[in-house]
Chains A and B, each alone.
Chain A
Amino acid sequence: MSALGDPRGALADLTRPEAWVLGVSVAFLLLLFVALLSGALGATYFLFLVGLAGMYALLSFGLNSQWGFTGLINFSVAAFFGVGAYGAALMTADSSPIAGGFNPIVGLIVGLSVAFVLAVLIGIPTLRLRADYLAIASLGLAEVVRLVVLNERWLTNGSAGLRGIPSFFAGWPVLSTFPQTMPGLRLEVIPGSPVFLEEPFWRASLNVLLVLAFAGATYLTLRRAHRSPWGRVLRTIRSDEDLARALGKNTYSFKMQSFVLGSLIMALAGVFYTHLNLYVGPGDLDPITTFYVWVAVILGGSGSNRGALFGGIVIVTIREGTRFLNDFAVPIDPAPLRLLLIGVLIVVVMRYRPQGILPPQRELIWPSAVDDSGTPDRPTSGVREQKHSDDRDGNGPNGGDDDE
């Protein structure tokens, strides 16, 4: 938008952390590009990583709409992710013990519906609880879901997991045969190490397209929702629930709506994961998945969807980078190394930058409500409403009408 019309102005508007993130991202992209061209990084594998990053970004969007905007400490991310993944896999996979063989669209609908039911079931008892109790209770209920998936063999195939999952576009008119019909390409940028673009590459690029569509739609929906009066009520609940209640809002109902919305987004990520990985097992519901997503959100900045996107990319870099390190440099088992990095990252962020690297600044308010004086160097609260309380749209989180 404005960044395209006036690139220099947009650049000058960036805060220091934004400039840093932009710089590092560009450098990282260049590095990846060079690796791709020289054949050091397989193009298909790279696209798989992009898909994975998109998936984490989706999960982070989901958590962000719960924790970042409403302040709900949800430690059951892995459960919703797993339910979405299993819902889709059970409907579509050959080895599914109950149904199988349905169109992936059916899987998508089933995954989301099951997640919806589960979100309401978990939300009813836990959303009335104090914040730290909610954390413990949701982690406990997520474990219950994991135990059910692990042990109910007749339903989920148990620890063996589900295989034989088709790609998401199976049964679609053109796209289902797209990877086969595309010609195999052979690029030789550096003589002697050609890069092949064949069927797996095209299949992976379809997946990337899919996750871009999912994440893009989610991002736009969330941005619209959080600028709306509904989103303002959520932010009021986050900063002061009693205030929201005193203003006549049914906070329980708003929290439930936010919880269900976030959970559906997580399940959507699960559905995508099923068709990306083509295998789903109970290990995918391990609590570590939950904490990966938490790291992505608090690192990026709670309440900031750009931050969530950035956090998702960092998580994939850690996940896959440790594997790479193990192969080439440090002979340490990647699993504990990953755990160590995640732990250190959490502690460092909480110690030095608890608001995250890219805290929400402009994205929560309508652009027209902000004056043209640029961004303050160090925003104290991240949202600049107090300063403009007499503006048209910026009359605070309690302003405007809402849908109650």
Chain B
Amino acid sequence: MTVLGYLANGLVFSSIIVLGSIGLSLVYSIADFANFAHGDTMTIGAYSALVTFGAVGGLGGAVLGLPYGFFLALVVGIAVAAVVAVGTEKLIYEPLDIDSIGLLITSIGIAFIYRAVIQIRFGADFTRFDVEPLRPIEWLVPYGIRVTLHDVAIVASAAVLVIGLHVLLQYTDLGRKMRAMADNPDLARVSGIRTKRIKLWTWVIGAGLAGAGGVFLGLFNQLSPRMGFNLLLVIFAAVILGGIGSVYGAMAGGFLIGMINQLTPLLSRLGEVLPLVPDGFGIPIGIEYANAIAFVIMVAVLLVRPNGIAGEAAT
């Protein structure tokens, strides 16, 4: 594959990571803990969509190689993920009287419960959406880009969701309140913002985006009960790289981490790709270490610039 091909793959994977990392970052800043159940929220979205799609079928026409029914399933996946997250917040997190570390540990328990329920219902095996696999888009193949219409659909849907979130955060009342609360919860509260309600909305948005990310991840790869948990650390890497609490940082971090993840194969062929570097040169790291690279970047960012690329100067 050519560099362009890897970049295209990176863009698709980035879209998924961005959807996951925005939600994680929102919850991290507003609910104030590292939510280890976020990855499994993605899994919930994916499996809800799988069930819905299986039930409603194609519903006639298709856009971008995906039947209408799939988009309905996507909406259901988003909704179920949001409902489950709000329910968990109401039932579990809200009554807890512990610090953010206690919440972090609790969220691991929640993650296990989500995954176990899915695994009991669907088994541990890989499954796929019942969508016909597509061939790569013809006129892009000569450039070495092998993306399908499905990949285009993933990127486009992610872009729509991200732009929607941007509009929500910048131009609506709810968005302003959320930003105020992320900035300083106490100040937000004394200025009359109902912080509890804003927190619930944060869960709805964060988990909804995660659900969408899960559906797309299922479309991009496959579905398995572990899919979300396996991606969780990569998403954490993206959030930390972007700066915890910054939604736009999370987008940038997600984009970078997704790209790096898919560009890993190029590392061993650096010489062919880059100018000014001798041809035989390369860093001998295989694709099996793609995630490891993300984790190492994460630790490095934590050390050098703990507030990430979009965060304020280190305090």
Contacts and interface: CB of A to CB of B under 8 A. Distances in A.
Contacts of B115: 336, 339
Contact of A346 (B105, B288, B299): B105
Interface residues of B, number: 43
A298 B92 CA distance: 17
A140 B108 contact: no
B104 interface: yes
Majority DSSP secondary structure for residues of B touching A: helix
A339 B109 CA distance: 9
Majority DSSP secondary structure for residues of A touching B: helix
Contacts of B96: 350-351
A10 to B, nearest CB: 33
Given A336-B119, A350-B106, A137 B34 contact: no
A142 to B, nearest CB: 9
A126 interface: yes
B116 A340 contact: yes
A335 interface: yes
A141 B292 CA distance: 8
B303 A346 contact: no
B296 interface: yes
B298 A137 contact: yes
Q: Which of B34, B105, B225 has the most CB of A within 10 A?
A: B105
Contacts of B236: 136, 140
A128 interface: yes
Nearest to A338: B116
Q: Which of A151, A291, A335, A351 has the most CB of B within 10 A?
A: A351
Contact of B291 (A131, A147, A294, A346): A147
Contacts of A350: 96, 98, 102, 105-106, 109
A138 B65 CA distance: 42
B306 interface: yes
B124 A339 contact: no
B59 interface: no
A271 B102 CA distance: 31
A137 to B, nearest CB: 5
A129 B34 CA distance: 14
The 9 closest A-B pairs by CB, nearest first: A346-B109, A343-B112, A140-B295, A340-B116, A336-B119, A343-B113, A339-B116, A347-B109, A336-B116
Given A131-B101, A346-B112, A350-B105, 5 more contacts: A73-B101, A73-B104, A147-B289, A336-B116, A343-B108
